[in-house]
Structures are given as structure tokens and as C-alpha cells.
Amino acid sequence: MLIEVKELVKIYSLGDVELRALDSVSLSIGKGEFVAVMGASGSGKSTFMNVLGCLDRPTSGSYILDGVPVEGMSKDDLADVRKDKLGFVFQGFNLLSRTTALENVELPMLYNGLTAIERRDRAAGALAGVGLKGREGHFPNQLSGGQQQRVAIARSLVNNPSILLADEPTGNLDTHTSREIMELFCRLNTERGITIVLVTHEQDIAAYAKRQVAFRDGRIIKDEVSAGVTPPQSPS
Amino acid sequence: MYILPAVKIALRGLRVNKMRSGLTMLGIIIGVAAVITMLAVGEGASSSLAKSIASVGSNMILVIPGSTTSGGARMGTGNTSTLVPADAEALAKECPSVENAAPLVRGSAQVVNGDRNWSTSVLGVTETYEAVREWPVIKGRSFIRQDVDSGAKLCVLGQSVVDQLFGDEDPIDKSIRIKKVPFTVIGVLDKKGQSPNGQDQDDTILVPLTTAQGRLFGTTSLNAIMVKGKSLDQMDKTIAEITALLRQRHKLQEGEDDDFSVRNLAEMLSMAAAQTKIMAMLLGCIASISLLVGGIGIMNIMIVSVTERTREIGIRMAVGAKGRDILMQFLIEAVVLSITGGVIGIALGVALAKIVGSFTQFETLVTPLSVVLSFGFAAAVGIFFGYYPARKAAAMDPITALRYE
């Protein structure tokens, strides 16, 4: 199992009020899966993603990622895990505005010790892989929403992560573009075997995934396998 | 490593926001420019000191009447009558480490040639003056023993006096009036230029000592005796011999103060130069305050920048940047800012030093060391004042940072 989460608890203390964001969550995700995590706001899905993404540490419970226990790691070690094993895609794209598409995709490699040429080549390849060849020199404000998200996806893949974590990736996109992005995710999953965990509150977006996990009040209330959506063949 | 991309990002940021960067760097620019100029003034004082000593003669001792404790007689204006010409002769004859001694009286007088007149300083000297002072004539001759013994009415003119009274005319054998007394010009002094304290050394007339005492100023005592020591390393010994001999001649008892002062000219010049250097250093310290203010300006802007880029910091952390990566990035940006200001400040300072050197009496000399020092200061300011904001950035929590509006 790529991800093994056992009895994860996350408690926020606000004064004398205790908030159990995660209430003993256990879950296993295998390599090559495409999982959609659903739930209303406050259900704990975002907290769960933060823990999965090694951006936050659980109050208790265990999290084993690719065979390595992560819950006790230092901040620096968690940063390394994020660099080597994880890729993030956000609802707001989170690109650096005064840098080109190519430089944005290069960002994770800055902390990897690669040379400038290696970085450039890999980044160019990643951009081509998401269909943005020729747009390396564009700045985010010169790209459409869908294109920006594709840059973000290219960035998330550039260090060859084990898992892609996507937090409402289509939230800022129109229906047509959303479909394109979801089809891209499907292709990445089926053609390149990338494990994807995606958070959404929209059912039709969740339908693209092959497994749906629903959160409520910090607990998993549903965990179903589904057929998913078979994307059209990738244009070469 | 990521130093180069960080520098690129920093420079790009500076370019995009030229106004903001410019204002931020202003403190550093002014501080560095001022420090460089002040260091140049100090360095100029040192180098002109060497030249002054060379022009005045480094083994020169000045003996003036009156002791230093009684009102602090300044160079050449001793006004008590304790030194006599015989003292000078005794010094030359009886002190083994004295090469020669030149007695002198000084006063100012009105000098007239036809319808031109000029007020200048008149020195009454003996035949020893030229050798002791190392100041030759370039035309005609200087005085001989006979001129002094006979109280002859002869004079030697400095270049500036020649310019004033004769223009391009040859003054030799011409007659002028000093204090209404007619004198014949027998020589013209070589050009000496400005003295270390800015006076025109060529604005002077030499007459025989006896003539000055008898005809011009009516005095029997001397204003000073210029003594030339035989060797530079023996100056202390020379001063001791002079002091001992004069005390004996003036019949001073043990425990009585000297009624004269013996000054090592080279030392005096060094003191003057040291004063200039201290002043320059003081002003340099004040200028350093500007550097401090510049540093605070950088810290301020970096704090704002860090807050503005909270999201960006969150993104970088999410893709794997560690705390120290973020710290280095913002530190580099602060240092790029301060070094750029430093470079501009150095250019400005060098230009300013040139201007000060040309338009004031201070000589300036910009040394490579001062440039390196200022550059180092600028970099240090960037590191020191950039550290706190950089640390603030590094300590951010990625989740909160990513959610920042």
C-alpha cells in the first residue's frame, strides 16, 4: 500500500473549545489508484489532505507513506518528503506571478540540486506533456485558467512524485475547461500510473475517479469503488 | 545551487519596482558615498603629509622663544625676547648632531615698486638660511656673510612678490622700498607653492637679519631659529642637545622651565595630519549612521515584501523548500538590494571625493581598500538587517501561508 493511515486524529484547540477535525480516520490507498475525497466544508477532508500532503502533523495516529512512517518527522524531513514524493495542485493554481511558465514548473527542482540545463529540459518536457509546448515564456497573466492549471499540474509532476494531491482543482474553471483538466488527470493516471488523490465537493467531478471516499464530521462515512470515466485517447 | 536563481529573482524584483528599490537603497547609497569621501579625505591628509614633510625638510627643528606652557606660542609667532643670533651660532658650532642653524626675524611690511605696492611678510635671515631651509634662488644670488655683517640693504624676492611688483620684468638689480627704506633686489627664490596649512610660501621677501633688526623692525631678539639636524634617526638626540645648550646659555637653573620651545617640524605636521584624519573619521562615523538608517529601510521593505509574498512562500514550502531555503532566498534578496545600493554609493563617493579634492583645500585619495571596505559594509548591512524578515519568512506555516489572501 502506498498510503496507510491508521486512526488519524487531529484536534484544534481554540481557547477552551476542542475541535476534532479528524476523528480516528483509517484508510489505505494503493499505487495507481485514483481516489476522490468528498464532503461538505468542515467535514475534515481538507485537514485530511493537509496531513496526507505532509503540510500538517496529526495529533495522534500513524501515517505510513511508501513504507516510511511520517507522523514523527521534523519539519525539514517533511519538506523532503513533499519534494520527492508528493505533487500538489490547488484550486487557485498558486503560480508565481512574476515568473514564466517554464520557471514556475522549474520551481520544485530548485531545491533538488539539479543544474540549470537539467531543470530547463525537464520543465520543458513536463509542459509538453500537458499540452503546453510553445508557451514556456508566457507569464501566468497571459494564460487562461485552464492553461494555468495545466502549468500547475506540470509543476506537480516534475520531480516524479509517487502521489498527486489535488485540492478542488476545477473549482475556478468553467465546465468545459474542468472537463479537459479532469481528462488530463485520468490520462496521467491510466497512461503513466500516477496515484491521484483529489478533493472535491462536486459529484460530477468525483465521478471521474475510480474510488470515492466521503467525509463527515471528521470521519469517513463512505468508501466506494466506481467505474470512473474513460478519457479519450491523448492527442500526441 | 539556488543562489543564482535567487539573485535573478531579486534583480528582477528590483527592476520591476524601480521607485521602491531606489528609495530603499537611498540610505545605503548616501552612507557608502559619505564613508568613501571621508576615508578619501583622511587618506589624502596622510599622503599630503608625506609631501609636506618632503617640501619642508624632515629633519627640521624649530626653536621659538617662550615656553609651551605659557599661553601656547604658535609656530613662528613667539613674542618674548629670549633668543638671540648668538644662540643660533652656538647651536651650529657646539651641538654635534646639528648640521646648521638659521636665525630669523619675521614681520610684515608694505613693499613698493613705482606705482605698485604689496603687503607681504619679510624675513630677516643670515647666510645659513638657504642651506637650512633647502630653498635655493633661481635667479641672482642669496646672502653672504658680508651682507649680514654690514647690514646691507639687499633683498631676495619670492615668486609671488615678483609677480605682484614686477610682472614679467626681471627684478634683479632693481630698487624697491620696504617700509619706505630702499632695497636692491639681488635674487629670486625658487617656487615653493602652498604650505601644508594653505599659506602661499612664495609671498615673502628675504633681507639680511641685521638689516631687518636695525632698519625695519627695531628688535634685537629673534622670532625663531630653524635648526637642521644631521640625521633623521637622531632627532631626539638633536632636540636634547639643543635644549641643554640653550638652557646653559640662558643660565636656567634646575627645575626652571625652558624659556624656549623646541619643535620637531615633522612631528607637528604629523599632528596636523592626524587631526584631519580624526575629523574625517568622525564625519565617517556620522556617515555610518546613514548606513544604519539604510539598513533599517531595507529591513522594513523586506518585512513588507515577506508579507506580500506569503502565498509564494507557502507554494515554495509545499513543493519542498525547507525553512533554511526560504531564509537564504530572502537573505539573498536583501543582500542584492544592499550591494546594489553599495555599488551606486561607491560610484557616487568616488565622484564626490574628486569634487572635494578639486574645490576645497582637502586633498582626497580614494584607495582600493576603502572601496572594498564600503562594499563589505553594504553587504553586511544587507545580511544583518535582512536576517529578521528572512527568518520570519522561514518560520511560516505552509498551510496558513497558502491560504493567505
Give the ipTM of the model, two decimals please. Answer: 0.90
d(CA A177, CA A134): 20
Query: Is residue B391, in this structure, part of any structural domain at all?
Result: yes
Which of B171, B205, B230 is the C-terminal boundary of a domain? B230
**B 346-405: CB under 8 A from A:** 398-399, 402
Q: Which one of A41, A49, A55 makes the best mutation probe of the B interface by having the most chain B beta carbons within 10 Å?
A: A55
pLDDT at B205 over 70: yes
Claim to verify: residue B46 and residue B114 sit in the same structural domain: no
- The answer to whether the Cβ–Cβ distance between A84 and B320 falls below 8 Å is yes
Cell readout for A20 is 476534532
Q: Is B241 part of any domain?
A: no
Is B67 within a domain?
no
Angle at B53 between CA B48 and CA B56, to 5 degrees: 120
Residues of A in contact with B398 (CB under 8 A): 55
User: Does the beta-carbon distance from A76 to B320 stay under 8 Å?
Assistant: no
Nearest CA in chain A to B12: A98
Mean pLDDT, chain B, as a whole number? 84
Whether residue B378 is contained in a domain is answered as: yes
Does the pTM of the predicted model rise above 0.90? no
B64 and B73 Cβ atoms separated by less than 8 Å: yes
Identify the band that residue B81 occupies on the pLDDT scale cut at 50, 70 and 90: low
Residue B69 in any domain: the answer is no
- pLDDT tens readout for residues B169-188: 888 888 999 888 899 999 99
**pLDDT reading at B76 higher than 50:** no
Side chain identity at B377, as an amino acid letter? F
Domain extent, residue B123, equals: 83-230
Nearest CB partner across the interface for B319, out of A75, A88, A99: A88
Name residue, grid cell 601644508: B196
Q: In the predicted model, what is the mean pLDDT of residues B17-38?
A: 87
B2 → closest Cβ in A88, A94, A110: A110
Quick check: B15 contacting A, CB < 8 Å? no
Q: How many CB pairs under 8 A join A and B?
A: 63
Task: Give the confidence band of B117 by pLDDT, cuts at 50, 70, 90.
Answer: confident
8 A C-beta contact, residue B61 and residue B92: no
Work out the pLDDT band at B56, boundaries 50, 70, 90.
low
> Distance between CA A22 and CA A9 in Å, rounded?
5
Cell of A170: 476545477
B2, A111: Cβ pair inside 8 Å?
yes
Angle, in degrees to the nearest 10, between helices B310-318 and B265-308: 80
Does B328 map to a domain?
yes
Predicted pLDDT of residue B282: 86
Best interface-test mutation with A: which of B14, B313, B315, B316 has the largest number of A CBs within 10 A?
B315
Domain match, B106 and B198 both: yes
Yes or no, beta carbons of B402 and A116 under 8 Å apart: no
Q: Which residues of A touch B316 (CB under 8 A)?
A: 107
State residue B71's pLDDT score. 43
Kindly report the backbone phi and psi dihedral angles of residue B150, in degrees, each rounded to the nearest multiple of 5, phi listed first: -90, 0
Closest CA to B313 of B403, B405, B402: B402
Q: Do B1 and A56 touch (CB under 8 A)?
A: no
Neighboring chain A residues of B1 at a CB cutoff of 8 Å: 113
Q: Which residue of B has its CA nearest to A157?
A: B319
Residues B16 and B134 reside in one and the same domain: no
Using the predicted structure, report yes or no on whether residue B2 has a pLDDT greater than 80.
Answer: no
Q: Do A75 and A235 meet the contact criterion of CB atoms below 8 Å apart?
A: no
Quick one: pLDDT at residue A231?
62
pLDDT of residue B156 exceeding 60, the answer is yes
Average pLDDT over residues B82-94: 85
Stretches in chain A below the pLDDT threshold 70: 230-236
Contact B107, B217 (CB under 8 A): yes
Last residue of a domain, one of B200, B230, B260: B230
- For residues B37 and B88, membership in a common domain is answered with no
pLDDT (mean) for B221-225: 86
Q: Answer whether B218 touches A (CB < 8 Å).
A: no
Residues B114 and B42 in one domain: no
d(CA B358, CA B356): 5
d(CA B135, CA B158): 11
Report the alpha-carbon distance of residue A37 to residue A114 in Å, rounded.
Answer: 34
pLDDT tens digit string along B229-286? 888 778 888 888 888 888 888 888 777 777 888 888 777 777 877 888 888 888 888 8
**Does the CB of B320 have a partner CB in chain A at under 8 Å?**
yes
Contacts of B16 in chain A (CB under 8 A): 98
Q: CB distance from B319 to chain A under 8 Å?
A: yes
Give the gap in angstroms from C-alpha A226 to the nearest C-alpha of chain B.
Answer: 30
Given B314, B320, B399, which is nearest A108 (Cβ)?
Answer: B320
- In 3D space, the residue among A153, A202, A187, A191 whose CA is nearest the CA of residue A37 turns out to be A202
B1 pLDDT higher than 60: no
The residue that leads in pLDDT, B46 or A111, is A111
Residues sharing a CB contact under 8 Å with residue B366, sequence separation 6 or more, in sequence order = B36, B39, B40, B43, B349, B350, B353
Residue B316: per-residue pLDDT: 92
The answer to whether position B286 is within a domain reads: yes
Report pLDDT for B70: 44
Question: Is the domain of B192 the same as that of B289?
Answer: no
For residue B398, give the nearest of A55, A98, A112 by CB distance.
A55
Among B230, B256, B289, the domain boundary falls at B230
Supply the pLDDT for residue A88: 93
Task: Measure in Å the smallest separation between the Cα of A94 and chain B Cα atoms.
Answer: 7
Interface of A with B (CB under 8 A): 50, 53, 55-56, 75-76, 79-80, 82-84, 88, 90, 94-96, 98-99, 107-108, 110-113, 116, 155, 159
Dist. CA B259–CA B246, nearest whole Å: 9
Same domain? B125 vs B180: yes
Band (pLDDT 50/70/90 cuts) for residue B304 is: very high
Residue A211: its pLDDT value, please? 92
CA distance A161 to chain B (A): 11
Question: Are B199 and B290 in the same domain?
Answer: no
Q: Tell me: do B113 and B200 sit in the same domain.
A: yes
Grid coordinates standing for A194? 500516477
Residues B204 and B312 reside in one and the same domain = no
> What is the DSSP track for B124-161?
EE-TTHHHHHT--EEEE----HHHHHHT--EEEE-HHH
Look at residue B398 and tell me if it is in a domain: yes
Do residue B224 and residue B126 come from a single domain? yes
| Of the partner residues A56, A83, A116, the one whose CB lies closest to the CB of residue B319 | A83
Question: What's the domain count of chain B?
Answer: 2
Are B191 and B103 in a shared domain?
yes
Does the beta-carbon distance from A110 to B317 stay under 8 Å? no
Residue A28: closest CA among A57, A6, A61: A6
